[in-house]
Amino acid sequence: MSHSTTDKPLPLLSRKANGLAGRIRVPGDKSMSHRSLMFGAVATGETRITGLLEAEDVINTAKAMAALGANVLRDDHGVWHVMGVGVGGLTSPAQPLDFGNSGTGVRLAMGLMATTPLSARCIGDASLSRRPMGRVTRPLAQFGTRFETSEGDRLPLTIHGAADAKPVTYTLPVASAQVKSAVLLAGLNTPGTTTVIEPVPTRDHTERMLASFGARISVAAKDGVRHISIEGRHELKAQELAIPGDPSSAAFPMVAALITPGSEIVIENIMLNPTRTGLFVTLEEMGASITYENRRQAGGEDVADIRVRASRLKGVRVPKDRAPSMIDEYPVLAVAASFAEGTTRMEGLEELRVKESDRLAAVEAGLQANGVMTASGPDWLEVHGGGAPGGGTVVTHMDHRIAMSFLVMGMASRIHTGIDDSRFIATSFPGFTDLMNGMGGRIETK
């Protein structure tokens, strides 16, 4: 699946804005969107989903679930209907499953397939094909699943699900919600109890949503460490799900409003799962004016409307233990830090080296290209604030979050900021440019 109607790069320029205003909605939460389709596919009955993120990554997950035997339809009102095949009911697809740019899509799907006797080839785009899959294939192999991977445990790979899976107890070597989820999903069709031990907490959408589908899942803390256990071979029941707005997507208009003088915006219907709000906590520590209105519950998650006003930010130290709750938000935090007073130091960033790009190197290069002073190590980044002069063109490395972060920078930099390619923004945030310009942004084709 190509990333746009054209295969040519689509450079953009972002110019200084005169204050942002408006009430906006960002797309549905990406983590919940992937999971709603997958869990619906192995539930019994029809799962109905409203607010699904209709971006390329999630559409690829929908296509994969259909190829594995579920009936997946979108109606004229934008509601998605998934007729599930039951736990253990997935079947071998006729064609390779193309996950495009999505690490979440492919890694969770591998877990879902791992303990069902099927064979499937998984492929992705150039960026996804560079990302490590060994962190998922190693624990899944303990269930009896076999893999044929490309060099370096990468895509394309073929998975052969275990016919007589054995339950596993697995301690996560790195803080990764994707690895945790893959193991728990493999446990769904494994007799007995599968347990994941999580030394550092990561986003818990899988546990919350599996519980809402009726899975026998329990979470216990032993000596401060989370033990998540799932009993296999119990049926999941179809659900009605309303997906709230994605906090990772809300991060971009939020930071844009904070750094652009004279701005005040409201971002409606944002999910406030505590494992995802590290950026909000950090920005508030920096002095950001952020207020939460109309707090409520949706789909087992806390939701609110967020009011953001332009603020004078100050540099802070962001502790290592906060990294899992904001791992996708460091690029846009680095942009915010470049407009803060003083130095911001971010620690515990080794995971950024294996994202869609080496995200840490890409962020630092983008900051330096726009006149911002930085220092870095294997797992840390320092950003010296005081404002971004701008004027540079950022190499995005096919990474949607790098692209959006530096378009945000251009709204407050002294000279415009450019990016070399914007096509990949559609993988997580379709309509991003129109939304930002509708509030008063000045993003244009280069």
Q: Which residues are tagged catalytic?
A: 328
Q: Is 237 within 8 Å of 43 (Cβ atoms)?
A: yes
Instruction: Tell me the C-alpha to C-alpha distance, in Å, between residue 177 and each of 136, 203, 206.
Output: 11, 6, 8
Distance CA 250, CA 271 (A): 10
For residue 140, the 8-state DSSP code is H
Rounded to 10°, the helix 247-259/278-285 angle is 20
Per-residue tokens: 22: 């408006």
Q: What's the CA angle centered on 349, arms 347 and 350, to 5 degrees?
A: 130
Per-residue tokens: 234: 């119990």
Q: Is 51 within 8 Å of 298 (Cβ atoms)?
A: no
Report, in angstroms and rounded to the nearest whole number, the Rg of the chain calculated over CA atoms.
21
How do 374-377 and 380-384 pair as beta strands?
Answer: antiparallel
How do 119-123 and 97-98 pair as beta strands?
Answer: parallel
CA dihedral 429, 100, 381, 260 (to 10 degrees): -10
Per-residue tokens: 348: 């515990």
E-state strands within 236-386: 236-237, 240-242, 264-271, 289-298, 301-309, 317-318, 343-347, 374-377, 380-384
Q: Is 228 within 8 Å of 201 (Cβ atoms)?
A: no
* Exposed / middle / buried, residue 49 (Cβ in 10 Å: 0-12, 13-18, 19+): buried
Q: What secondary structure, in 3-state letters, does 24-90 show?
A: EECCECHHHHHHHHHHHHCEECEEEEECCCCCHHHHHHHHHHHHCCCEEEECCCCCEEEECCCCCCC
Which residues are within 8 A (CB) of 376 and not within 5 positions of it... i.e. 6 or more apart? 360, 364, 382
Per-residue tokens: 97: 């499953």
Distance CA 116, CA 246 (A): 31
